[in-house]
Amino acid sequence: MNYRIVHTTHYRYESPVTLSHNEARILPRNTARQRCDRAELQVVPEPQDRAEHEDYFGNRVAYFAIETPHDALEVTAVSEVHVAPLGLELAFGSDLSWEEARAQLRHGLAAPGLDARQYAVASPMVRPDASLLAYAAESFTPGRPIVDAVQALNRRIYTEFEYQPGFSTVATPLGTILKHRAGVCQDFAHLAIACLRAHGLAARYVSGYIETMPPKGQEKLTGADASHAWFSVYVPGLDWLDFDPTNDQWAADQHITVAVGRDYADIAPITGVVNGVGVHSLEVSVDVTRLEAGV
């Protein structure tokens, strides 16, 4: 599948900002199944300094600094991406039990497994505890194949939790999400990651977009799409597999990856430091458009 993504973030400040330094993680990365053919970051007002680098996790980071007074900031990423279909892992999965996968992760010396170990421990926004271990235990029964167990956990989050915008914020603890069985895609990804890490498995947070379709007979509304989040689990022999608990599915060719990290804190879309501002408002608009082959 080929897609064009337009992601616009608009800040309005109560009083003029005299200086701002920012990092944006909104340019899609290349993966084994994804190729970013075009990525452009447009910033208004024009930055006095800008650069791009790759962070520790291999994500694209666009830095920009604005050194003139401004009461608004608009950042637009325009990207074109090709996403290939899933391979045989979707059809055949893996017979490896989750206990065997955990053992290989702990004791294996191969490079992929060594790198994956950093995603098996607590991180700033994902701290596994006894309640999360107990919740996941229903899915991680003794000897169950790891892919089957993760699919079961993914489905349980989808069926047992209510998607409820406005219920949570970035700072809402996972214990609150588990207690009230409500949240949004970010919460569900963090919850799944915590459940997997509680069982000694490696899981990471993925930010990106998902292609959405309008109701039958209606045109798609401009800006109706949104950023999305899901999770990846490391399976020895199959590498990283992506699951979307918000939609009870594998993250397949309708999912466009932007960045990966231990949790949201590693890959927030835009972060920065500003001078001379109090209250500000934020508006975000995302459009994901499927392109014809060759466009």
pLDDT tens digits, one per residue of 163-184: 999 999 988 999 999 999 999 9
Q: What is the pTM of this model?
A: 0.93
* 269-282 pLDDT tens trace: 999 988 876 678 99
Predicted confidence at residue 226, as pLDDT, reads 82
- Is the pLDDT at 293 greater than 90? The verdict is no
* 22-40 pLDDT tens trace: 999 999 999 999 999 999 9
Give the CB-side neighbour count of residue 278, counting CA atoms within 13 A.
2
> Phi, psi at residue 23, to the nearest 5°?
-125, 135
Residue 98, token pair as written in the block: 């989750």
Amino acid, res. 50? R
* 257-268 pLDDT tens trace: 999 999 999 999
What's the average model confidence in pLDDT over 70-75?
A: 95
- Is the pLDDT at 218 greater than 80? The verdict is no
Q: Is 97 strand, coil or helix?
A: strand
Residue 63, token pair as written in the block: 């830095």
- Is the pLDDT at 295 greater than 60? The verdict is no
Neighbours of 134 (CB within 10 A): 12
Predicted confidence at residue 282, as pLDDT, reads 92
Contact 174/121 with Cβ under 8 angstroms? Answer: no
Which is nearest to 229 in space by CA: 274, 271, 170?
Answer: 170
Q: Helices 185-198 and 130-137 meet at what angle, rounded to 10?
A: 90
With tokens 């401009």, the residue in question is 222
Q: Is 193 strand, coil or helix?
A: helix
**Structural domains in the chain plus CATH codes:** 2-83+269-291 (2.60.40.2250), 88-252 (3.10.620.30)
Which 3-state string (H, E, C) describes 126-175? ECCCHHHHHHHHCCCCCCCEHHHHHHHHHHHHHHHCEECCCCCCCCCCHH
What's the average model confidence in pLDDT over 186-200?
A: 98
% of the chain with per-residue pLDDT over 70: 93
Kindly list the distances between the CA atom of residue 203 and the CA atoms of 17, 122, 230, in Å, as whole numbers in the listed order.
39, 11, 10
- Is the pLDDT at 193 greater than 70? The verdict is yes
Which is nearest to 246 in space by CA: 289, 294, 196, 188?
Answer: 188
- Is the pLDDT at 41 greater than 70? The verdict is yes
% of the chain with per-residue pLDDT over 90: 81
Higher pLDDT, 115 or 278: 115
Contact 235/219 with Cβ under 8 angstroms? Answer: no
Predicted confidence at residue 178, as pLDDT, reads 97
- Is the pLDDT at 10 greater than 50? The verdict is yes
Model confidence at 223, pLDDT cuts 50, 70, 90, reads: very low
Q: Is 209 strand, coil or helix?
A: strand
Neighbours of 14 (CB within 10 A): 11
Predicted confidence at residue 148, as pLDDT, reads 96
